[in-house]
Amino acid sequence: MSERRTVALVTLGCARNEVDSEELAGRLAADGWELVSDAADADVAVVNTCGFVEAAKKDSVDALLEAGELKSAGEGGRTRAVVAVGCMAERYGKELAEALPEADGVLGFDDYADISERLQTILAGGVHHPHTPRDRRKLLPISPADRQGAEVALPGHGAPPDLPAGLAPASGPRAPLRRRLDSSPVASVKLASGCDRRCSFCAIPSFRGSFVSRRPADVLAEARWLAGQGVSEIMLVSENNTSYGKDLGDIRLLESLLPELAAVDGLERIRVSYLQPAELRPGLIDVLTGTEKVAPYFDLSFQHSAPEVLRAMRRFGDTDRFLDLLASIREKAPQAGARSNFIVGFPGESESDLAELERFLTGARLDAIGIFGYSDEDGTEAAGYPDKHAPEVVAERLEHLSRLAEELTAQRAEERIGERMRVLVESLDTDDAAGGKAAAAGRGPHQAPETDGQVLITDPAGREPRVGEYVDVEIIGTEGVDLIAMEQALPTGGDAGAGR
């Protein structure tokens, strides 16, 4: 009988990291590791780090230090090793290992295929030397059409033909290289990895690499497997979903894939994240707003709206073009959800540029807005720009725009009073912002997990809602960005888009 080996995966950062963690879990489970949810109960704590911005890096370091404290408890605890993986580990490699001796190993993406062997070596007291970071964009051909089949580690893309029993349903499609780490009715599916854009503030392409699409058959197989695991909503994630298919010879591939995903038995909602405004085609808008079970949801990466700032960011567009884009979406689906993130205090950003961004935000009617203050990122073009703003100026602009964003999203929530929508119930007996009790909380089609607020159901029509079910509601009030609703049967046929 083999020795019991336990491992816990602690995930920081975005939904893409969550998918990567479940791939690592699949690899480890296939090799006999027992997955546990609490790092204190694990022989090895694997921390999937985020390396996007300074705050995320700090959270990753804090998580590694916390896991290190479990190890230092000695005989009082089980944890014997702490290992860093993920974006921060890939981006800094040896530098992170030297700065953080609490980590027994720092593994890059190239180590994922051999994760079980790596952890076993570390657990046995062996040394795995951290990698020297390199620009992963240079690992793939420049031409997107030549990238498919290249032997480069792409976390979240694994799909082996066979895995041990227990990792797939007894019948139906074989499991992907993935093991679920929770029982949520929502799961992310990786559509692609990497990015070909060269935004001057962003380091992600350097450590995630160039853009590579997953094949539609692999995405569909994973969606079917997830539906068999009880998932009813999937969110398609990547660094840039609007580029999907360009390396497969069909830039419109997402338009044909979405209806196929909507036809998967058991799936009730398909959501697409991270869309580039400059690449958002009319045909894709049509599919996102007119396909049953596809949420009319637009997670648009605007970043700013002042033309001069956008050009310095190596991006395209302006306030009026962005407003026209949103108007064209709402013409097709008035209830469509729209969210975006913005950077303030970018080098050279003037007061008039800031006023232009305010003009856009005021007219955009976005459901969710993220405001971030600019900070230099290692290896980015913008880090070498002149005309940097003092930290206190960036902080002042961040505070001002954040207050405006809070007011505007609350106003947008109020516009939804009277709307009917289908809500996925995710929790029961929830406190609302006013200190009262809601029977349940969930999300409508315009709300992505964790980022876009929620719907509080105060009147469940005389019955107990269940987590994982979809409830038809009418919006009767708001609490900031959150909506207050009462359950109500929709008329036959419903409102356009209400069932999505």
Cα–Cα separations (whole angstroms), residue 277 to 190, 224, 305, 363, 495:
20, 30, 11, 16, 27
Q: Tens digits of per-residue pLDDT, 381-427?
A: 999 999 999 999 999 999 999 999 999 999 999 999 999 999 999 99
The Cα–Cα gap between 489 and 493 comes to: 11
| All residues at 6 or more sequence positions from 115 whose CB lies less than 8 Å from its CB, including other chains | 24, 27, 28, 85, 107
> Which has more confidence, 123 or 492?
123
Residue 14 is assigned to a ligand binding site: yes
Considering only 48-52, 166-170, 352-356, which range has the smallest mean pLDDT? Answer: 166-170
Residues 302 and 278: beta-carbon distance below 8 Å = no
* Residue 195 is assigned to a ligand binding site: yes
Q: Is the pLDDT of residue 484 over 80?
A: yes
Q: Residue 165: pLDDT band by 50, 70, 90 thresholds? A: very low
Maximum average pLDDT range among 87-96, 151-160, 284-293, 423-432: 284-293
pLDDT one-digit tens code per residue, 316-336: 999 999 999 999 999 999 999
pLDDT value at 435 more than 90: no
Instruction: Extract the tokens encoding 172.
Output: 């139906």
pLDDT in tens, 254-296: 999 999 999 999 999 999 999 999 999 999 999 999 999 999 9
Q: What is the pLDDT of residue 475?
A: 97
Give 57-88 pLDDT, tens digit per residue. 788 888 888 887 877 665 556 888 999 999 99
At residue 376, the pLDDT reads 94
Q: What are phi and psi of 369, to 5 degrees?
A: -135, 125
Instruction: Quote the pLDDT of residue 72.
Output: 62
Worst-scoring range by mean pLDDT, 176-190, 289-303, 412-426, 447-461?
A: 447-461
Please compute the mean of the pLDDT values over residues 436-461 and round it to a whole number: 86
**Does 131 carry a binding-site annotation?**
no
- Token readout for 450 is 């964790």
pLDDT of residue 245: 96
Average pLDDT over residues 155-175: 52
* Cβ atoms < 10 Å from Cβ of 101: 8
State residue 461's pLDDT score.
63
Tell me the pLDDT of the chain averaged across its residues: 89
Q: Using one digit for the tens of pLDDT, what is the confidence trace for 18-42?
A: 999 999 999 999 899 999 998 888 9
| Whether residue 498 has pLDDT greater than 60 | no
In single-letter form, the type of residue at position 426 comes to E
Residue 376 annotated as part of some ligand binding site? no
Instruction: Mention every residue, 6+ apart, whose C-beta is less than 8 A from residue 185.
Output: 230, 231, 232, 233, 424, 426, 467, 468
Interval 219-248: pLDDT, tens: 999 999 999 999 999 999 999 999 999 999
- Give 448's pLDDT tier (boundaries 50, 70, 90): very high
Residue 401 marked in a binding site? no
State what percent of residues in the chain have pLDDT above 70. 90
Supply the pLDDT for residue 471: 94
Task: Evaluate whether 472 touches 420 at the Cβ level (below 8 Å).
Answer: yes
pLDDT at 357 over 70: yes
Percentage of the residues of the chain whose pLDDT score is greater than 90: 71
Tokens of 357: 């961004």
Q: What confidence tier does 432 reach under pLDDT thresholds 50, 70, 90?
A: low
Whole-angstrom distance, CA of residue 492 vs CA of residue 500: 15
The answer to whether 77 touches 115, Cβ cutoff 8 Å, is no
The per-residue pLDDT for 305 is 98
